[in-house]
Structure 1
Amino acid sequence: MVRFNIKLKGDLNNDMDNNIKKNIKNKISIASILVALGIVYGDIGTSPLYVMKAILGTSGGYISKELILGGVSLVFWTLTLQTTIKYVILTLQADNNGEGGIFSLYTLVRKQAKWLIVPAVIGGAALLADGMITPPMTVTSAIEGLSIVFPLNTSSIVIIVLSIITVLFLLQRFGTLVIGRMFGPMMFIWFSMLAILGFSQIIKYPQIVQAFNPYYGISLLISNPKGVYIIGAVFLCTTGAEALYSDLGHCGRENIHYTWIFVKICLVMNYLGQGAYLMLRQGMVIQENPFFLIMPSWFIIPGTIIATFAAVIASQALISGSFTLVAEAIKLNLFPKLQFRYPNDEKGQIYIPAVNFTLYIGCVLLVLHFKKSEHMEAAYGLSITITMLMTTILLTQYLKYNKKKRVMGNIVFSIFMVLELSFLYGNLFKFLNGGYITVLIAGAIMFIMYIWIYGSIIKRRLNEYVDLSDYHYQFKEIKEDKELPLYSTNLVYLTQSPNYNKIENKIAFSIFNKQPKRAKYYWFINVNVTDEPYTTNYRVKTIIPNETFSIQFNLGFRVDQRINVFLRQIIKELVSSGELKSTAKEYMINNSETCSVGDFKFVLLEEILSNESQISAWDSFIISSKLAIKKLTVSPAKWFGIDTSNVEIEKVPVVIGNRETLKLTRIS
């Protein structure tokens, strides 16, 4: 067996980009800091738009010293414990070759126990559900600020919000390269505005700094009968922490560490400023959003415009994050294969039309259903709490087994499970008021993932494999059978067998029995998705010299599976090394080594559930559902990058179990 642990030529430029990218991420500069501000903090950075309003809403708008001081105290300590300690300090250490996110974390620990796929699936589905509620929530909260200076009714606000969201989703197909360059400077302006507005109110009531004392937050939760609702409102200040981890690969740990100091100062100053404004109005009932009330009247319109830009950036970050999340799930075979597009040459720019359309429809329906941001608060936060709990489980496993820090893992698990279960308890009261919507969305995504994963398990369990070495005689006979026309010079099959010497029985049947296929060269290809994001290497095994070959690609879960391009590069390598002997024909237009081996035909086996199968009703439903889903997703030919080649589709019945065979009796 010949093993090539060299980089595939098609990805050499990407590898160079990766090295440059790593150097940029590890280097702190004004440019890298602006990039981090624009990409990482969209969601968590827009939380001042609605957090204090949500806390005030628990008392019907009535302002009391206990509520304001306690509420601001809880916000500060939530940002400190949940965001700073758990995510910025601890979770960012769990990077997979510089990449972050719940699926990257899962690939680091999945070898420890098979059950870890459960928290990964639950967390990923809940994060996708959160991506559907974030754009309506943030954009609506920003636009509602205009109602302070303009007589806008709810219908007008809904129309403006839907218009912004529609334009945002329409732009996704073109990529975000141009808009992305504006993200950093715009978010710097946004955070600077938060700090200045907050400071302008803090100097009017400096006693608000008492909120740093955790006593006020604990006292509020214990003494206030609506403490559980308050903790659900407070949790909204940290909902973007999970997205912060997911964007690790775009910015690098050091850039996030440095920018978080600035971002947290700006956020805390704004929360203190809103608290100071409200403390000066104790005993009053306020229904308006305190975020806009602390603005000077002349600044409300420009302030709202800046807030709208920040809300759009937050939405864009969640949409792009959803594309990346789904792409990783697909590569890990946790989700049905969907069509990808790459809008521009910027690395990491992925556009998935089906996800974009689904998110858009979901956002529109949520805006039409809730209409006001205060109603959306009921649905917001519940699903992301579940994601954070799942991340804690995976992070604990990472600390215990990957880092060999069992004591620290137990401490992290104990502290953050208690904290996040408290947040979950507080958010469960939102369930009947709208939280059920995101739970249903997450549940639907989980069910699709369950069908895909369990369907694959059933098939793997019942797949029959044969040894290629047992078929030397058959390959010799079929090659010498001149009655058979030459089916193809190069015949290529994709196999799920990780063993280079074995293939599925149905592939052998396709070659020798079902329209016997005579070819000059036979290629059996297996694609292994690695735990590392950017692996690009392969192994070659010669089964029959100069005739039959087995290839295993090891591709990272963020690498495009361009099998057509990769295969031609491998063949060129084999011709150069003498393992494949082929002479270019004189009549070939370009008789270089890359085309001297002639034409290619890829045979893909399309499975259908046979009526002869004898399985349980549930397993039959799973297999049938998976086969139905596959019809709606991208074809294997497109997925493996061979759709421009000569591809033959053969239908193969999936026969599971054995029915009793009836014996017929001949009569005269």
Structure 2
Amino acid sequence: MKKNVVTIGSLLVALGIVYGDIGTSPLYVMQAILSTNNNYSSANVILGGVSLVFWTLTLQTTIKYIIFTLRADNKGEGGIFALYTLVKRYAKWLIVPAIIGGGALLADGILTPPVSVTSAIEGLNVLFPIKDEVTIVIVIAIILVLFLFQRFGTEKIGKIFGPIMLIWFLMIGILGLVQLTKNPTIIKAINPYYAIRLILHGNSAVYILGAVFLCTTGAEALYSDLGHCGRSNIYYTWVLVKICLVLSYLGQGAYLLAHNGDLITESPFFLIMPHWFIIIGVIIATLATIIASQALISGSFTLVSEAIKLNIFPRLHIRYPNGEKGQLYIAAVNYALCIGCIAIVLIFKKSENMESAYGLAITITMLMTTILLSQYMRYKKKKKVLSIIILVVFGTIETSFLYANSFKIISGGYITLLITAGLIFLMYIWSYSSQIKKKYRRFVSLFDYEEKFNLIEEDKELPLYASNIVYLTKSRKWSEVENKIVYSIFNKQPKKAQYYWFIHIQVTDEPYTKAYKFKTIKENKVFRLEFKLGFRLSQGINGLLAEVVEQLMESGEVQFKPKDYMITSRGRKAIGNFKFILIEEILCSESVFTGWDKFILSAKLLIKRLTVSPEKWYGIDTSVVEVEKVPILVGNNSNSKKIVRIYD
């Protein structure tokens, strides 16, 4: 599907992918608003609450995200890390809001599947009471099946997401419209006067703001899914989605106004349904919440993948279940989310308890997105005044929501804050340790070692180590490599080869770039390759190198005469064997670091042992890899006084 083409199919895909989270918010928002008034329906609270919901959807989702943020795309890709890549070169400090926002988005996402699925299953209470234990078992069973299914990919089931979500939105819109015709007084809630009056004079205005914010929590996910279906498809589908959402909220409000002063213990979403339709409604709602959860899980995989490529998150094994672009699976993230979701269900048990903690971290993400968006408008679009307006207007709105949600900390929000803090610290360790190593890294020119390459080739006593020896280098200068690499070649274990390849991998800001540069350092002997790979591509260096070498042989830039006994494979020319030398750094007691720097480096080395190995990450056949350990040497921790020999 071309993302810039709008068809019925593309619109259905957008409905199925983009709106799962924000589309299922009517399940619990009005119930959360009621809970701030001890579950009693009050005209003041209902009119003000619905008015706040309408204007939150308008200001936050429509204006901020649909109109402004979706235009801040990186080659068609969206999300907080895609936005960060657009502005990172303008100011180093922008890594801070990117890391904070990314960590908060991942942490708050742990609450989305439990609160959505639990809200749907609890709808059965309108027909007959269900024990909490039964609800918990059903919800956990659904969550387990959902997460177990991830390893197989979602391409096939994803095709039915759109039609199901279309049915969902039409259902909530029609149900709301029916109630609206019965009590059209609720239309007054569109007037912002009622929202302002409730905030200024409501007894629990702060808590109501925290509940109202739940209606827009999916807006950040909407931006992250931009790359899956394109801006135009989101624009068109949002018209239908917003109309249906508004009708649903107005319909629930109309029902509650008709029951002014009553104690409402069940979800208003299900109370407005005809009695005979409730079972059907629960089934459709459950399917919609599963789709919402699926969108969150896929978004988490994408978010972590982007963070890894930007070198601000530990490397995790990424698998691609099928050939569909954007379809990926990260087992570690899948298991972590699954355990987190089940833990949330077991801790909170009821959706109303989950709602009391839901939305806290996502306000942090939205605030960080506003900061990055304002810088995007300032530097990329050269609209300084607009950047200030965006920062002030949306920053004020989101700060107000953050303040309101801060009261959720003691009622369970501390859980998502702890997870957020842990993820932020993990990304800080990864980012800051890279800066430390970069500061102390030493490079040497390969041209200074041309004579040594000649000598090692002429050494008859030295056996051939491999036809091709490959090193990965961090050097951006094509003629330079780290001094530890030349030490490995000439000293560690002298390595004779027909060809030496030095590869630098540059992750580009464009998501799907796949290109390379080639330089000859020593004629038909020493070469430099620079791969330019998009931040959403896997790094299969083994296959890429074989493809490039074959191209270079065909062009005559690399001349290799295969032996008669060599066998060609799949039509490819024989190019000899390859040996990849990966240098693993270890902390040395003789190095001098500050206490904090040493702690950060030690933490990173520990994390690396627990995550995917370099050879798996770079897509290198483990049979052709040799890992050499070298110490990170900085200064000297030993006594500077020269040792003295003692004679008998």
CA contact (8 A) 1:561 1:639 kept: yes
Match of 2:327 in 1: 349
CA–CA distance in 1 between the matches of 2:363 and 2:552? Answer: 52
Deviation at 1:72, TM superposition (A): 0.3
Pick the aligned partner of 1:119 from 97, 121, 132.
Answer: 97
Is 1:144 the counterpart of 2:147 in the alignment?
Answer: no
Pick the aligned partner of 2:434 from 456, 462, 469.
Answer: 456
CA–CA distance in 1 between the matches of 2:203 and 2:6? Answer: 48
Is 1:238 the counterpart of 2:216 in the alignment?
Answer: yes
User: Which letter maps to 2:472?
Assistant: L
Is 1:267 the counterpart of 2:245 in the alignment?
Answer: yes
Pick the aligned partner of 2:305 from 295, 315, 327.
Answer: 327
Q: Which range moved further: 107-116 or 560-569?
A: 560-569
CA–CA distance in 2 between the matches of 1:228 and 1:591? Answer: 69
SS in 2 for 1:430: helix
Is 1:403 the counterpart of 2:381 in the alignment?
Answer: yes
Deviation at 1:88, TM superposition (A): 0.4
CA–CA distance in 1 between the matches of 2:375 and 2:63? Answer: 17
SS in 2 for 1:487: strand
User: Which letter maps to 2:6?
Assistant: I
Partner deviation per Cα, 1:246-274 (whole Å, 9 max, x = no partner): 00000100000000000000000000000
SS in 2 for 1:26: coil
CA contact (8 A) 1:585 1:591 kept: no
Structure 1 residues 591 and 69: CA distance shift in structure 2, 3 A: closer
User: Which letter maps to 1:464?
Assistant: R
Is 1:103 the counterpart of 2:81 in the alignment?
Answer: yes
SS in 1 for 2:159: helix
User: Which letter maps to 1:612?
Assistant: E
Deviation at 1:150, TM superposition (A): 2.6
Match of 2:645 in 1: 665
Match of 2:358 in 1: 380
Deviation at 1:591, TM superposition (A): 8.0
Counterparts of 1:220-259 in structure 2, within 5 Å, are 220-259=198-237
Match of 1:6 in 2: none
SS in 2 for 1:98: coil
Is 1:419 the counterpart of 2:397 in the alignment?
Answer: yes
Q: How many residues align?
A: 646
Is 1:390 the counterpart of 2:368 in the alignment?
Answer: yes
Counterparts of 1:139-538 in structure 2, within 5 Å, are 139-538=117-516
Partner deviation per Cα, 1:196-230 (whole Å, 9 max, x = no partner): 11011001101110011000000001001210000
User: Which letter maps to 1:272?
Assistant: L
User: Which letter maps to 2:441?
Assistant: N
Pick the aligned partner of 2:591 from 598, 613, 616.
Answer: 613
User: Which letter maps to 1:257?
Assistant: Y
SS in 2 for 1:526: strand
SS in 1 for 2:582: strand
Deviation at 1:30, TM superposition (A): 0.7
CA contact (8 A) 1:575 1:593 kept: no
SS in 2 for 1:417: helix
SS in 2 for 1:579: coil
CA contact (8 A) 1:584 1:593 kept: no
User: Which letter maps to 2:136?
Assistant: V
Is 1:63 the counterpart of 2:8 in the alignment?
Answer: no
Match of 1:92 in 2: 70
CA–CA distance in 1 between the matches of 2:468 and 2:317? Answer: 27
CA contact (8 A) 2:125 2:266 kept: no
CA contact (8 A) 2:20 2:288 kept: yes
Partner deviation per Cα, 1:111-141 (whole Å, 9 max, x = no partner): 1000000000000000101211101110011
CA–CA distance in 1 between the matches of 2:467 and 2:609? Answer: 30
CA–CA distance in 2 between the matches of 1:581 and 1:303? Answer: 69
Partner deviation per Cα, 1:398-450 (whole Å, 9 max, x = no partner): 11110111111111111000110010011001111111110111110111111
Structure 1 residues 591 and 141: CA distance shift in structure 2, 3 A: closer
Deviation at 1:582, TM superposition (A): 1.3
Long gaps (5+) in structure 2? none
Long gaps (5+) in structure 1? 1-20
Structure 1 residues 517 and 237: CA distance shift in structure 2, 3 A: same
Deviation at 1:34, TM superposition (A): 0.3
Partner deviation per Cα, 1:448-474 (whole Å, 9 max, x = no partner): 111111111111100111111100111
Counterparts of 1:548-559 in structure 2, within 5 Å, are 548-559=526-537
Deviation at 1:592, TM superposition (A): 9.1
User: Which letter maps to 2:329?
Assistant: Y
CA–CA distance in 2 between the matches of 1:547 and 1:602? Answer: 16
CA–CA distance in 1 between the matches of 2:262 and 2:127? Answer: 21
Deviation at 1:597, TM superposition (A): 2.5
Partner deviation per Cα, 1:14-69 (whole Å, 9 max, x = no partner): xxxxxxx4xx2111111000000000000000000000000000000111111000
User: Which letter maps to 1:245?
Assistant: Y
Deviation at 1:477, TM superposition (A): 0.4
Q: TM-score, normalised by structure 2?
A: 0.98
CA–CA distance in 2 between the matches of 1:173 and 1:591? Answer: 31
Match of 1:10 in 2: none
CA–CA distance in 2 between the matches of 1:107 and 1:532? Answer: 9
CA–CA distance in 1 between the matches of 2:241 and 2:107? Answer: 26
Partner deviation per Cα, 1:144-187 (whole Å, 9 max, x = no partner): 11122133111110111000000000000011122111100000
CA RMSD, Structure 1 to Structure 2 (Å): 1.1
Structure 1 residues 647 and 45: CA distance shift in structure 2, 3 A: same
CA–CA distance in 2 between the matches of 1:25 and 1:543? Answer: 43
CA–CA distance in 1 between the matches of 2:387 and 2:514? Answer: 33
Identity of paired residues, percent? Answer: 62
CA–CA distance in 2 between the matches of 1:367 and 1:619? Answer: 39
CA–CA distance in 2 between the matches of 1:270 and 1:159? Answer: 29
Deviation at 1:665, TM superposition (A): 3.2
SS in 2 for 1:327: helix
CA–CA distance in 1 between the matches of 2:147 and 2:635? Answer: 47
User: Which letter maps to 1:470?
Assistant: D
Partner deviation per Cα, 1:338-383 (whole Å, 9 max, x = no partner): 0011111221110000000000111111110000011111221010
Deviation at 1:504, TM superposition (A): 0.6
Is 1:44 the counterpart of 2:42 in the alignment?
Answer: no
SS in 2 for 1:527: strand
Match of 2:50 in 1: 72
Match of 1:11 in 2: none
CA contact (8 A) 1:524 1:549 kept: yes
Deviation at 1:553, TM superposition (A): 0.8
CA–CA distance in 2 between the matches of 1:89 and 1:427? Answer: 26
Deviation at 1:666, TM superposition (A): 2.0
User: Which letter maps to 1:439?
Assistant: L
Deviation at 1:581, TM superposition (A): 1.3
Pick the aligned partner of 1:82 from 36, 60, 67.
Answer: 60
CA–CA distance in 2 between the matches of 1:388 and 1:643? Answer: 42
Deviation at 1:593, TM superposition (A): 8.8
Structure 1 residues 612 and 175: CA distance shift in structure 2, 3 A: same
Match of 2:7 in 1: 29
User: Which letter maps to 2:529?
Assistant: I
